[in-house]
């Protein structure tokens, strides 16, 4: 099965469709509504995308990925409570769905509920698919790469002052994606604030060297206050 095949697959009215050069099986009715929704989503027509994904869900209510699609649009539309309900529904259907757990965790973080955000990102990390680390480097409606899961997971742990766990998670992100800047910057800021100024500056400088846009100004402030 391809990475996209499971999103829209069903046993009735099977057809094949090609997205980004990849062929996969779909339920025709669900596929039409989903593709319309995707086109509207990528055109920033969020209300139209929600309507099309809702039609897809009505046609195939037990497909967890359709709830993830609609929930992602709702999250981008900043309707966090509705997005939360969709991601919860996806997890009810498939409790090990790493993407639903990640999306739901991020919604909890936006609602200032870091305890549940941490629990959900741990589930997401434990169930994430290793191939995503190499094939995908950023969030989109289909996937999220594991280093991004780890980066947010580590940040939330640091925000809760669970420093040992947070540093361990950030180091794991650095190991699997050495050029991903977020873990270096997050660890640098935390170490600096904990009083390990030289070490904090070192990690922040690394983030800057790797191209993090925020790191330069943060590093300048660190150097000024550490004199």
End-of-domain residue from the set 57, 88, 119: 88
The residue range of the domain holding 17 is 1-88
* Average pLDDT of adjacent 10-residue blocks, the chain of 227 residues: 43 48 67 92 95 96 93 96 98 95 98 98 90 48 90 98 98 96 98 97 98 96 86
106 and 174 together in one domain:
yes
70 and 4 together in one domain:
yes
Crossing angle of the two packed helices 146-159 and 98-110, in degrees rounded to 10 = 40
194 and 155 together in one domain:
no
- Classify residue 179 as exposed, middle or buried by CB count within 10 Å of its CB (0-12, 13-18, 19+): exposed
111 and 168 together in one domain:
yes
Residue 16 has what pLDDT? Answer: 57
207 and 144 together in one domain:
no
Q: How many domains does the chain have?
A: 3
Residue 9 has what pLDDT? Answer: 47
CATH number at residue 73: 1.25.40.10
Please state whether beta strands 22-27 and 14-19 pair in parallel, antiparallel, or not at all (unpaired).
antiparallel
End-of-domain residue from the set 88, 115, 147: 88
Q: Within 13 A of 140's CA, how many CA atoms are on the CB side?
A: 11
Tokens matching residue 6: 């499971």
Q: What is the largest distance, in Å, between two alpha-carbon atoms of the chain?
A: 70
5 and 81 together in one domain:
yes
1 and 84 together in one domain:
yes
Residue 4 has what pLDDT? Answer: 45
84 and 1 together in one domain:
yes
Residue 18 has what pLDDT? Answer: 54
78 and 134 together in one domain:
no
Residue 28 has what pLDDT? Answer: 79
End-of-domain residue from the set 55, 88, 121: 88
25 and 71 together in one domain:
yes
Closest by alpha carbon to 61, among 95, 124, 10, 3?
10
Q: How far apart are CA 112 and CA 105, in angstroms?
A: 11
Residue 45 has what pLDDT? Answer: 96
């Amino acid at each position: 099965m391809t990475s996209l095949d499971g999103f829209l697959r069903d046993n009735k009215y099977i057809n094949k469709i090609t997205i980004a050069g990849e062929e996969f099986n779909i339920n025709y009715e669900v596929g039409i509504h989903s593709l319309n929704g995707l086109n509207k989503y990528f055109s920033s027509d969020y209300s139209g995308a929600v309507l099309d994904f809702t039609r897809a869900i009505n046609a195939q209510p037990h497909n967890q990925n359709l709830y993830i699609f609609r929930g992602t649009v709702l999250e981008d539309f900043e309707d966090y409570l509705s997005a939360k309900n969709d991601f919860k529904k996806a997890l009810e259907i498939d409790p090990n769905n790493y993407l639903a757990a990640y999306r739901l965790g991020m919604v909890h973080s936006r609602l200032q509920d870091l305890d549940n955000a941490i629990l959900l990102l741990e589930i997401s990390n434990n169930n994430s698919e290793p191939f995503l680390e190499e094939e995908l480097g950023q969030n989109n409606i289909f996937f999220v790469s594991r280093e991004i899961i780890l980066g947010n997971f580590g940040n939330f742990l640091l925000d809760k002052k669970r420093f040992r766990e947070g540093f361990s998670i950030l180091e794991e992100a650095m190991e699997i994606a050495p050029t991903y800047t977020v873990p270096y910057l997050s660890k640098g800021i935390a170490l600096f604030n904990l009083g390990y100024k030289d070490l904090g500056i070192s990690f922040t400088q690394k983030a800057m060297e790797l191209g993090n846009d925020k790191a330069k100004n943060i590093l300048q402030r660190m150097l000024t206050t550490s004199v």
